[in-house]
Chains A and B, each alone.
Chain A
Amino acid sequence: MTLAWFLQNLLNGLSMGSVYAIFALGYTLVFSILGIINFAHGAVFTLGAYLTYLLSVGQFGINGLLAGWQLPFTLPFPLALLAGAGLSGLAGMAVERLAFKPLRARQADALLALVSSLGVALILVNLIQYLFGAEIYSYPSDVLGSLPPAFIFKVGGKPVAVRTVQIVLFVVSLVMLAALAWFIHGTKAGKALRATAENQDTASLLGINVDAFILGTFFVSGLLGGLSGTLIGVSFGLSGPYFGVAYGLKALAVIVLGGLGSIPGAVLGGLVIGLGEAFLPPDLSSYKEAVAYALLFVILLVRPQGLLGGTTEQKV
């Protein structure tokens, strides 16, 4: 229980937690507008990681349809990160057009949107497997250019190591959060977005193009998904086309913990779960994957609306 031990876990927890936060925000944005959980978000996360890998490394190895095929160019990592995230945003828009819009147009049962988004997730994940194969990929160690792999400083005589990747994770997430907060609260389009989330019919009467804002929300959601997929991929490698599923489910625990539909709640929930995993005692480390879900049950018991969620009265 030294200060160094505490600082090390705090840093680990904050960098993971900030990625959980921006990933979970992708769910929250869609939920606050449509009241639906987009189960294809985990697949977009995977897609983003693979696209950035393709753009920065240029090829995928041995299996899959594209084995041995070489991209004619490669991008430096920061550009590939942005391009991968942008393409994931487009994938998010495709998810909305394939899985959600046709059902909205037919006023179908909300449960069906869950299955259709899972269907799109199945398509995306298996498409990735078909094209790129199922093996594990890791980014080359020089992906971040000439930066050293880690910074080590001493606290009270004990070393604390911060991987450069962790700093990238934290900084990119913070920048995304700031940009999103500015967009939602500082621009006219953000105001229109909030109006759409409040009440679609009224927003539409006020001259807001609701359909365009829904599509835009899916773009931002996909962008956040792809970005967080890349960040996790850089940190831990791409462990196959299904690696987004587990993170996708964990992020669901994040949004319940913070409060469904609450943007600050998703951020807080992400940080709580990131820190919770980091501070888990070493002899319980094999239970790390269960931390998020255990917290979900606790919150359902003691504060079902989530840490920052408000209660809404249901009117008849």
Chain B
Amino acid sequence: MAAFFDLYGFLCIMILQQALLGYSLYFPLMAGQLSLASIGFYSLGGYVAAIMGTHPAFEAWRATLGWLMIPLEWLAALLLSVVLAVAVGLPALRLRGIYLALATIAFVQVLNVVVLNMPIAGGAVGIFGIPQAFESRFAYIWFFGPLLLLTILFTLRLERSAAGRNFMAVREDELAAGAMGVRTTANKVLAFVIGCALAGVVGAMSAPFLNTWNARQGTFDAGVACLAYVLIGGSRSKWGPLLGAALLVALPEVLRPLKDSRLILNGMVLVLACVYMPRGIAGLFAGRRA
């Protein structure tokens, strides 16, 4: 068992972390909205934690607060994410269709340019030596594990709440939902903001885990990967993001003997999964419904 964790412990934590980013896209998808913003808010949250953890201006805070600084970083990342998510989501979500996806792509690109030009974010080099919360890397399971558990519980409750039912009504038929008195724009924005807030907190947790933080954390490709977790895992199932992340994070490890050609196979897996598993892995277990 110990040997297994030595070898695969890091991979297990990566799966939890990536699954959480998958969930951050699952919420807008509950309301039928395609977002690619998670990776941007993840990057943003990481920068908040990295700056609060290393910048001299926060030295006095760190000295007085001690370990309490870490939850404070999460809170700061959460609040900043909520504010920015409303600013990005509101103009795009007044419209139907693909606009949110395009606006969130734009957000991720703008964020990267801004971060590269901000001295406080360390430019292209990024921020180094972010203080560790634990001695062992595997101990970070105490960050991501409970958060994932909370997220799944929250999803379970959300599905049965008025807000969750509104989301699903908007997903099934936006016009009909509006005609029934569901405030469609407000609900779409809410679903989007919940996801972005989660991504921000995951970023703030990941900065100490990865020890360094730079603009490469927020690339478009990584954002696409988050979306792939949800859609390959099953966008209509609360287990979808977890299943998808487990498969797609482990896949490159399994394919490692193939070296350079494994990324080509990764692409093929995406295409084949879309064609042959349109309801994702979770859809395979859900049986054939009409």
Question: Is B6 part of the contact surface with A, judged by Cβ < 8 Å?
Answer: no
Q: How far is the CB of A92 from chain B (nearest CB, A)?
A: 16
Contact B110 A293 (CB under 8 A): yes
- Chain B's closest residue to A120 (CB) is B271
Contact B270 A290 (CB under 8 A): no
Contact B270 A122 (CB under 8 A): yes
Contact B91 A99 (CB under 8 A): no
Question: Is A75 part of the contact surface with B, judged by Cβ < 8 Å?
Answer: no
Given A127-B264, A256-B99: A115 touches B274 (CB 8 Å cut-off): yes
Contact B114 A290 (CB under 8 A): yes
Question: Is A206 part of the contact surface with B, judged by Cβ < 8 Å?
Answer: no
Given A130-B261, A297-B103, A300-B99: A118 touches B113 (CB 8 Å cut-off): no
Contact A249 B105 (CB under 8 A): yes
Contact A103 B270 (CB under 8 A): no
Q: Which of B72-80, B199-207, B224-232 interfaces with chain A? A: B224-232
Contact B101 A114 (CB under 8 A): yes
Contact A103 B109 (CB under 8 A): no
Q: Among A103, A252, A289, which residue has its beta carbon within 8 angstroms of that of B274?
A: A103
A116-132, CB < 8 A from B: 116, 118-124, 126-127, 129-130
In the complex, chain A residues whose CB is within 8 Å of the CB of B109: 249, 289-290, 293
Question: Is B132 part of the contact surface with A, judged by Cβ < 8 Å?
Answer: no
Q: How far is the CA of A129 from the CA of B263 in the complex (A)?
A: 10
Question: Is B143 part of the contact surface with A, judged by Cβ < 8 Å?
Answer: no
Q: How far is the CA of A116 from the CA of B278 in the complex (A)?
A: 11
Q: How far is the CB of A125 from chain B (nearest CB, A)?
A: 8
- Chain B's closest residue to A296 (CB) is B106
In the complex, chain A residues whose CB is within 8 Å of the CB of B176: 316
Contact A296 B264 (CB under 8 A): no
Q: Which of A105-113, A148-156, A168-176 interfaces with chain B? A: A105-113
Q: How far is the CA of A306 from the CA of B230 in the complex (A)?
A: 30
Contact B92 A300 (CB under 8 A): yes
Question: Is A186 part of the contact surface with B, judged by Cβ < 8 Å?
Answer: no
| Chain A 299-314: CB-based contact to B (< 8 A → 1; otherwise 0) | 0110010000000001
| Chain B 253-290: CB-based contact to A (< 8 A → 1; otherwise 0) | 00000001101101111110011001000000000000
Most chain A beta-carbon contacts within 10 A, residue among B34, B91, B94, B235: B91
In the complex, chain A residues whose CB is within 8 Å of the CB of B149: none
Contact B106 A293 (CB under 8 A): yes
Q: How far is the CA of A127 from the CA of B261 in the complex (A)?
A: 8
Given A111-B231, A289-B113, A314-B175: A123 touches B267 (CB 8 Å cut-off): yes
Question: Is B158 part of the contact surface with A, judged by Cβ < 8 Å?
Answer: no
Question: Is B216 part of the contact surface with A, judged by Cβ < 8 Å?
Answer: no
Most chain B beta-carbon contacts within 10 A, residue among A106, A109, A300: A300
Question: Is A267 part of the contact surface with B, judged by Cβ < 8 Å?
Answer: no
Question: Is A102 part of the contact surface with B, judged by Cβ < 8 Å?
Answer: yes
Question: Is A98 part of the contact surface with B, judged by Cβ < 8 Å?
Answer: yes
Question: Is A147 part of the contact surface with B, judged by Cβ < 8 Å?
Answer: no
Question: Is B84 part of the contact surface with A, judged by Cβ < 8 Å?
Answer: no
In the complex, chain A residues whose CB is within 8 Å of the CB of B114: 287, 290
Q: How far is the CA of A51 from the CA of B232 in the complex (A)?
A: 32
In the complex, chain B residues whose CB is within 8 Å of the CB of A118: 224, 228, 270
In the complex, chain A residues whose CB is within 8 Å of the CB of B34: 111, 114
- Chain A's closest residue to B117 (CB) is A286
Q: Among A106, A129, A256, which residue has its beta carbon within 8 angstroms of that of B278?
A: A106
Q: How far is the CA of A99 from the CA of B270 in the complex (A)?
A: 10
| Chain A 137-160: CB-based contact to B (< 8 A → 1; otherwise 0) | 000000000000000000000000
Question: Is B183 part of the contact surface with A, judged by Cβ < 8 Å?
Answer: no
Contact A126 B264 (CB under 8 A): yes
Q: Among B99, B116, B117, B231, which residue has its beta carbon within 8 angstroms of that of A112?
A: B231
- Chain A's closest residue to B236 (CB) is A109
Contact B271 A119 (CB under 8 A): yes
Contact B270 A304 (CB under 8 A): no
In the complex, chain B residues whose CB is within 8 Å of the CB of A127: 264
In the complex, chain B residues whose CB is within 8 Å of the CB of A256: 99, 102
Question: Is B139 part of the contact surface with A, judged by Cβ < 8 Å?
Answer: no
- Chain B's closest residue to A242 (CB) is B221
Contact B267 A126 (CB under 8 A): yes
Contact A297 B106 (CB under 8 A): yes
- Chain A's closest residue to B173 (CB) is A316
Contact B264 A297 (CB under 8 A): no
Q: How far is the CA of A294 from the CA of B106 in the complex (A)?
A: 8
Contact A115 B106 (CB under 8 A): no
Contact A111 B235 (CB under 8 A): yes
Given A111-B231, A130-B260: A304 touches B274 (CB 8 Å cut-off): no
Contact A115 B275 (CB under 8 A): no
B187-207, CB < 8 A from A: none
Given A109-B278, A294-B110: A116 touches B101 (CB 8 Å cut-off): no
Question: Is B98 part of the contact surface with A, judged by Cβ < 8 Å?
Answer: yes
Supply 6 further A-B pairs (C-beta < 8 A) apart from A111-B235, A114-B34, A300-B103: A113-B274, A116-B274, A123-B268, A249-B109, A293-B106, A301-B91
Show 11 A/B contacts (Cβ-Cβ < 8 Å), sorted by A: A99-B271, A115-B224, A119-B268, A120-B271, A123-B267, A124-B267, A126-B264, A289-B113, A290-B114, A301-B91, A316-B176
Q: Tell me the A residues contacting B by CB distance below 8 Å.
A: 37, 98-99, 102-103, 106, 108-109, 111-116, 118-124, 126-127, 129-130, 245, 249, 252-253, 256, 260, 286-287, 289-290, 292-294, 296-297, 300-301, 304, 314, 316
Query: Which 4 pairs, one residue from A and one from B, show the smallest C-beta to C-beta distance?
Result: A119-B270, A122-B267, A123-B267, A293-B106
